[in-house]
Amino acid sequence: MATDLCFRYIGSKESHETEMSMDPTTGGVATADDVAKRAGVSRWTVNRAFKPNASISTKSRAKVMAAAEELGYAPDLLAASLASDRSNLVALLIDDFANPHKLQIIEQLTRILRSHGWDTLLVNTLNAADTPSALLAASQRRVDAAVLIGVQFNDQELETALGARRVRKLILFARQSENPNTISICCDDKAAMTTIADYVVGQGYKRPLFVAGPQTTSAHLLRKETFLSRWHHIHTHQPPFVAVSAYDPQLSYQAVADHFRANSDHPDIVVCENDALAMGAIDALRYEFNLNTPNDIAVIGFDDVPQAATPQYQLTTYRQPIVEMVHALVDVLKGTADMATLNQFSGQLVVRTSA
């Protein structure tokens, strides 16, 4: 039920101290009407002047732009959204600021969306139960789409939240989902993880340990399953794995340390679901057991976060084509995307010295 969702409202007027300056000639902010009057044209013409390919004479446009410049006019996107039913606003839902990869995504997403005319509403979702509420908040701003970046959510709740209000497009970025109401923009995780598994086999490692992240039902990575089944396919046995409840290096540190303490037959390689976990693993091995990569043990990650390239990690990892994926998101927003290839991106293995 949507009963417990927290509605946003806009409160009553309050005193505004430290207001910024406004145009004194109009007593407020210039509107298209002001510009129209000054330029001696209709409001609609002013409007047209601000549209890239509207049918308007260059002379009219010049007049309008000159008047707009003098008045400091810029179109009000709020009013435009209200009238047009499109906001050029995208909500970004994110629940984990500790994972450097999410940040790379945010950075590219905000940058590229802005260059294409979309603004970004950043919504910090606290946990899976909070996602519907965040989605509702976004819908109240009439976002053109909501993009979930590895956000934990519950299909059932999502369904309710979606049905209740309009969220035009629900996009899962860098995650796969079978939910038919969502659009996934992601790598072919199976292919990627198979590449890694084959690399591990090819390098002659024999005793892998897999470190997995949260085992969610809704938007999972297929990385663990793929690696384990691929390994099983080749070596006819399933390697051990540990799973942590968040992509947090500290949790990985702890889990790996625990595993090594509990098992005397140490792995020769630790394969991690992503770099955040891999970095925690490397730290644990180094500071708890004095095992260093690559001499004593190997570690492999996924994502190629900036820290992966630093001297203390030199992490072998898999890089997703984030920029391409964001461009695909822009296509989705424009409605020009090829839906068939959206979850088929492929990246590349970046071989450093850790494995």
Partner DNA sequence: TTGTAAGCGTTATCAC
Partner DNA sequence: GTGATAACGCTTACAA
Exactly one of 47, 104, 110, 194 binds DNA (CB under 7 A); which one? Answer: 47
Residue 237 interface partner, choices DNA, a copy of itself, none, CB cut-off 5-8 Å depending on type: none
Q: How far is the CB of 22 from DNA (least distance, A)?
A: 10
Q: Which long-range contacts (CB under 8 A, 24 or more apart) does 197-205 make?
A: 197/226, 197/227, 197/230, 197/231, 197/234, 197/271, 198/230, 199/300, 199/349, 199/351, 199/355, 200/269, 200/271, 200/300, 200/355, 201/231, 201/234, 201/235, 203/298, 203/355, 205/268, 205/269, 205/298, 205/355
Query: 52-91: which residues touch DNA (CB under 7 A)?
Result: 55-57, 59-60, 73, 75-76, 79-80, 82-86
Residue type at 24 in one-letter notation:
P
Which range in 37-45, 85-93, 213-221, 323-331 contacts a copy of itself by CB under 8 A? 85-93
**Residue 131 · residue 152 · CB < 8 Å:** yes
In angstroms, the CA 80 to CA 86 distance is: 8
Q: How far is the CB of 158 from a copy of itself (least distance, A)?
A: 11
**Residue 243 · residue 212 · CB < 8 Å:** yes
Exactly one of 82, 234, 323, 351 binds a copy of itself (CB under 8 A); which one? Answer: 82
Q: Is 13 in the site for a copy of itself (CB under 8 A)?
A: yes
Q: Is 7 in the site for DNA (CB under 7 A)?
A: no
Exactly one of 26, 42, 155, 164 binds a copy of itself (CB under 8 A); which one? Answer: 164
| Total length of the chain | 355
Query: 255-314: which residues touch a copy of itself (CB under 8 A)?
Result: 283, 286-287, 306, 310-312
Q: Is 2 in the site for DNA (CB under 7 A)?
A: no
Query: 92-121: which residues touch a copy of itself (CB under 8 A)?
Result: 92, 97-98, 103-104, 106-107, 110-111, 114, 117, 119-121
